[in-house]
Chains A and B, each alone.
Chain A
Amino acid sequence: MKSLEELKRIKEQTLKDMDLRQAKDRGKVVVAMGTCGIAAGAKDALMAVIEELEKADIHDVQVVQSGCMGLCDREPTVEVSMKDQPSVVYGDVNDANARRIVHEHVQGGHVVAELVIKRGNI
């Protein structure tokens, strides 16, 4: 390495790998991973959300898992709570719906009305 520019490049590159460890304060996406959720495909939803956020270069939204929310017949369920906005719970979140939620709600700020089960905190 012969320059500060190179040093900065390594820093930027590695920060992406360390992204999970940084504070994320723009919002949170919670994927319910109870037995019911997993059986209904919550794992696919989880990975789809992570992948889409990564593609969109969004690093200040936390993706976490939770246990069963008690809405077993609408699994997989995903709760999106962006900062200073009431949280929204979505049902029947398959891979495609998960990607849509990231695009429209997280990125665009518009709730995906037809998938909503509940608005406001559970």
Chain B
Amino acid sequence: MIRNQLLICAGGACITSGEKSVKDVLVEELAKNGIQDEIQIIETGCMGACDLGPIVVVYPEGTFYQKVSVQNAGLIVSEHLVKGRTVAELLYHEPASAKKAQTSEEIPFYTRQVKRVLRNCGVIDPLSIEEFIARDGYFGLGKALEMGRDEIIKMVQDSGLRGRGGAGFPTGIKWKAAKEATGSPKYVVCNGDEGDPGAFMDRSVLEGDPHSVVEAMVIAGYAIGAATGYVYVRAEYPLAIERFDYALRKAREVGFLGHDILGSGFDFDIEIRIGAGAFVCGEETALLRSIEGKRGMPSLKPPFPAEAGLWGKPTLINNVETFANVAPILINGAEWFRSVGTLKSPGTKVFALAGKVQNTGLVEVPMGTTLRELIFDIGGGIPDGKKFKGAQTGGPSGGIITADYLDLPIDFDSVKEIGTIMGSGGLIVLDEDNCMVDVAKFYLEFTVDESCGKCTPCREGTRQMYRIMERICNGKGHDSDIEKLKSLGKVIQLTSLCGLGQTAPNPVLSTIRFFEDEYRAHIEDKRCPTHVCKRLLTYSINPDKCVGCTACARQCPVQVITGEVKKTHSIDVDKCIKCGLCYEVCRFGAICRE
């Protein structure tokens, strides 16, 4: 008889922070106390609060234990499960208050979320098809197979679901086009080539609830008349591949894939294709080439994949998160889907919160939620009392949302108006210590690296932009550089072949738009206001404050700080490598950084 279930988060982040060894300790302790037959341990997908991991939740109470380690995991068994005493030291409490939360329902990070895409992540065992079914899994498929194909497509269209991969194209229109396209066979493709630095929405769905994608792909295949589906996942996601592959095998065993699905006479199967981690393969035409076994390079649209996709045949391609939305729409209807979100962007969006924010992790909120709610209410605000400066959405293809727009309801269209994109949901929070020129340079460096080289504006243009950014950060910027960046950026946006090039200048253009004074400080005053760009810094010692403690001299890796004990020290500015160690170790504030 099972009296308690222990849910351990086995998402990527928790595994990295030691989930496996915590689980081993729990198993061992259960056996030691002779209660291994009364307590069941279940590993789930990502629970979202990644910075609190490893997370263990004890049911039926729902007690939420965070930052569990090998050292203290035993307490959950010896105290909670044997003696019935909550382990207070493992409970979560708000940084500002001493009140401890017993369950996740008392943690603001969770209470403000609306979980639709992540409905099963962290709740079920991703390896159990039965648990997925218990949460209404495959009932959407069951319903779809009883509906007409046009009826399914109409429902998806009526729901107003838009592509969660970033561009926000209406999903129903894609489905309709793929159904109406002539040509056979047709294909369904799932884009799981999540490439934005810091984004892991799709990975978490594939790891935590793989069947939700399988189910939606079968529905899509039925609706458009395809018999084969491909899931394209990057090789950097081994766990997602492993769990998805397991899900496919299970679905085949039970009969949700293969011949005559649920007695409907419809045949469908799915294969996994593993990508080699090229960012450009997230672009749909490049992804299709990669599945074909060719080099992942984009091609001109039209023809769109719906007309001529895989091997020139009609192909429906949607992103992981888009697919994860499909089955609940079929079960609950289009109106239900529209009950949250904004008029033109209904539903929810999953964001990966990262950067300078208290609670990092995966959050799902209704479209139209403001940045303030996301960062301050759910994210817990900026650590160390620093000031919020901006948030980068859309990764290397997006731009900055500044403090002036904290109360803007975020959806596909509103962010476009202020020069950025929704993107796939990466949200990097920046504070007053971040140099905007440096941030833009970082993203540009990424796209320069990832440009496939097929078209000139992207291949050459981004590289030239990067050179300009580099010289600005090195104190060698020209007065005309800002104008040059703007005009070059515009040309690249307009003339690049695919989305990668068309959006690559966004981070630079958006930071120029909102932080031009910071660019000017770098170019005209040769100064980095946030002291990030090393080449623009000079370290010196203030003789009035230096007591001659020798701490800096001992730390200096290049030994250019000289001075006797109890006498004022000095730095040889020409030889200084500007590592900043002296600045950090000085307890008297005697090191000046300008």
Contact = CB atoms under 8 A, between A and B. Distances in A.
Interface of A: 1-4, 7, 10-11, 13-15, 17-18, 20-21, 24, 31-35, 37-38, 46-47, 50-51, 54, 62-67
Interface in B114-137: 123-124, 128, 130-131, 133-134, 136
A13 B138 CA distance: 15
Contact of A15 (B5, B81, B84, B134): B134
A118 B389 CA distance: 58
A25 to B, nearest CB: 12
A63 B61 CA distance: 8
B101 to A, nearest CB: 17
Contact of B139 (A7, A13, A47, A51): A7
**A-B interface, 6 closest residue pairs, ranked by CB to CB distance from nearest:** A65-B84, A33-B84, A14-B134, A2-B263, A14-B130, A67-B85
Given A1-B254, A34-B83, 19 more contacts: A4-B139, A7-B142, A11-B133, A11-B139, A13-B130, A14-B134, A17-B131, A18-B124, A18-B131, A20-B5, A21-B123, A32-B84, A33-B83, A37-B84, A46-B3, A51-B1, A63-B60, A65-B80, A65-B83
A96 B29 CA distance: 30
A104 B436 CA distance: 69
A66 B80 CA distance: 8
Nearest to B61: A64
13 contacts: A2-B262, A3-B262, A4-B139, A4-B262, A7-B133, A7-B262, A15-B134, A17-B134, A21-B123, A47-B3, A50-B1, A65-B83, A67-B83
Contacts of B260: 2
A20 B59 contact: yes
Contact of A64 (B38, B82, B84, B263): B84
Interface residues of B, number: 33
Contacts of A63: 3, 60
A31 B262 contact: no
A20 B60 CA distance: 5
A47 B37 CA distance: 12
A14 B255 contact: no
Contacts of A51: 1
Contacts, number: 85
Given A7-B139, A10-B130, A64-B61, A20 B2 contact: yes
A3 B256 CA distance: 11
Nearest to B57: A21
Contact of A21 (B7, B85, B136): B7
Interface in B304-356: none
Contacts of B139: 4, 7, 11
A58 to B, nearest CB: 13
B4 A20 contact: yes
Contacts of B254: 1
A65 B35 CA distance: 14
Listed residue (B7, B38, B142) with the most chain A CB atoms within 10 angstroms of its CB: B142
A71 B83 CA distance: 15
B145 to A, nearest CB: 9
B84 A31 contact: yes
Interface string B80-106: 111111000000000000000000000
Listed residue (B84, B130, B138, B262) with the most chain A CB atoms within 10 angstroms of its CB: B84
Nearest to A67: B85
Given A2-B263, A46-B3, A34 B84 contact: yes
Contacts of A11: 133-134, 136, 139
Contacts of A3: 262-263
A65 B133 CA distance: 30
A66 B85 CA distance: 5
Contacts of A33: 82-85
Interface in B135-157: 136, 138-139, 142
Contact of A47 (B38, B80, B85, B262): B38
A18 B130 CA distance: 10
A34 B85 CA distance: 8
Contacts of A34: 83-84
B61 A1 contact: no
A63 B123 CA distance: 20
A89 B84 CA distance: 16
B285 to A, nearest CB: 37
Contact of B83 (A14, A17, A35): A35
Contacts of A7: 133, 138-139, 142, 262
Contact of A50 (B3, B5, B255, B256): B3
Nearest to B123: A21
Interface in B1-55: 1-5, 7, 38
B1 A21 contact: no
Nearest to A64: B61
A51 B8 CA distance: 25
Nearest to B79: A67
